[in-house]
Amino acid sequence: MKVEIAPLSNTNFVDLGSKPIEYISVCNTHSAAITIILAFANTALAGGTSLSSDHCELVHDVSIPVGATLVLEEESLKFIFLNRVNVTTVAVPGTVLASKSFLIRLSSAGTADVLVKKHS
């Protein structure tokens, strides 16, 4: 098991890596509600603010109130977090997306602490 932390403070996607995720929590550390986006996408999109056709949003603009934490555990997203899946793009059917990662970002200004537990 491996545990990582990833602070969020802007609207750019942060790369959480491609290893299967067992647990993820996002704690709102801002003075107002925040919203987040979690996607499984082409690794090249990390650092940017938008997604191309090579992605799947797992969480879209979910609001987290002040002082609250959003928790996603393996049962809620087991199909992609735990299984070693081959993701293809509709742009070229049957072509496996070679470089993929879990990407997370804030939808607007704010701060959050992300805790990710991964399988080794």
What separation, in Å, do the N-terminal and C-terminal C-alpha atoms of the chain show?
5
| CATH no. for 2-118 | 2.60.120
Task: For 41-86, write each residue's pLDDT tens digit.
Answer: 888 899 999 987 667 788 899 999 999 999 988 665 555 554 455 6
Q: Which helix (H) or strand (E) holds 81?
A: helix 78-81
Model-level pTM greater than 0.75? yes
CA distance 9 to 76: 26
Q: What does the alpha-carbon distance between residue 110 and residue 87 come to, in Å, rounded to a whole number?
A: 31
Radius of gyration from C-alpha coordinates of the chain: 14
Sorted by where each begins, the domain ranges of the chain are 2-118
The DSSP call for residue 75 is T
Q: Amino acid identity of 91?
A: A
